[in-house]
Structure 1
């Protein structure tokens, strides 16, 4: 059993590392994923890399392109808009449900996370705090099917690369938006929590679309 668990962890490692590189922008949309190169880069055999690539393909993060092989997917303007629209619906619903069932412990955790995000001196730390804030809200919704749907959307978001928090004043605004959401949760304001979360996602979309337009023109 221990041998099987170790093998599973080793097979999963390249997947996690590729996902992390996509998220950081080290591997970008349109980049080819070549098994031999990835195996050499990560110091593993081709088998776990092949399994990792198959998982990425199942997740919709990579696709087959004629004469190029497997490449990281590129989302166009319409797909980005559609993706964020779905995110707004799902996470808005999560905030509504959370307003009904969030515990005092979870509200305290959300406040702490947002303070850590406000005090973060690196974008990586801010990104992790932001992701954790959204995870706690989602878990507080107490709906396993909603959690699965949000996680599927979040995987696709990885293709977009670097966080919108790195843009202009988005970081400071996101912290303030989180605080407003937290206040709505404390007040058990279901309508307010959903509206504020949707507004929060819409604000992130506008920054993301500016990123996209800039990258297209470069």
Structure 2
């Protein structure tokens, strides 16, 4: 009697499409697919062990989100942002993050405020670990927007985060920026805990202005190094 081994479950077209999108997005976010990278369906399919169909669907979705661009006679490439586009992103982020902090000061529960305080305390001991700090920084801003209780604002910030993923590296790697960013977060949380919407908004807006200043300095360094 022959015993058949159970076959491995096949990926459905839907799951393959989702996998392709998430793999490509992760590559853009972590810098393995930096701005300007040419994206060829065949090469990507081989790289991720997927068929070309889900890769094509993922590329189409990323193009709709503005993360990749179709270049005439060259094909798809990860979008490169010019200075004006970067400035526009930070201007919008300043406004939206300020609103998120303002709403958090009005709606965050005591437990949510405590979570934010604990996140700041934990980040103070990891300021030299840029990779981890970048991840916990995203988590902090996610918690901040969740505490604001506004679905549409949270969605707008998530869309903006995807566009910011096109920027190379992280400003938290600049000398002194990690520690300064954590203290910015501490001030935002303090204003939220004090139920000071205006103060929380201004602290958040200043935090983004500080990040933009560091980004400009990093861009300048690219042309002088």
The reply to whether TM is greater than 0.5 is yes
Which residues of 2 match residues 187-206 of structure 1 at below 5 A?
187-206=194-213
Aligned to 1:210: 217
Deviation at 1:214, TM superposition (A): 2.4
The alpha-carbon distance between structure 1 residues 136 and 6, as it changes in their structure 2 partners (threshold 3 A), is farther
Distance in 2, Cα, partners of 1:114 & 1:5: 40
Deviation at 1:118, TM superposition (A): 2.4
Aligned to 2:97: 91
For each residue in 1:141-162, what CA deviation from the matched residue of structure 2 results, as whole angstroms up to 9, or x when unmatched? 1111111211111111011031
Distance in 1, Cα, partners of 2:48 & 2:103: 42
1:50 is aligned to 2:93: no
Asked if the contact 1:114–1:129 (Cα under 8 Å) also holds between the matched residues in 2, the reply is no
Asked if the contact 2:13–2:54 (Cα under 8 Å) also holds between the matched residues in 1, the reply is no
Distance in 1, Cα, partners of 2:11 & 2:100: 33
Bigger shift: residues 137-146 or 111-120: 111-120
Asked if the contact 1:113–1:133 (Cα under 8 Å) also holds between the matched residues in 2, the reply is yes
TM-score by length of 1: 0.93
Consecutive unaligned residues in structure 2, runs of 5 or more? 1-8
Distance in 1, Cα, partners of 2:117 & 2:149: 19
Going by fraction, where is helix more abundant, 1 or 2? 1
1:25 is aligned to 2:31: yes
Which residues of 2 match residues 1-218 of structure 1 at below 5 A?
7-120=13-126, 122-217=129-224
Asked if the contact 2:172–2:178 (Cα under 8 Å) also holds between the matched residues in 1, the reply is yes
For each residue in 1:165-204, what CA deviation from the matched residue of structure 2 results, as whole angstroms up to 9, or x when unmatched? 1111110000111001110000001111000000000010
Q: CA RMSD in A?
A: 1.7
Max Rg structure: 2
Number of paired residues? 216
For each residue in 1:111-147, what CA deviation from the matched residue of structure 2 results, as whole angstroms up to 9, or x when unmatched? 2222332233532211111001101110111111111
Asked if the contact 1:90–1:146 (Cα under 8 Å) also holds between the matched residues in 2, the reply is yes
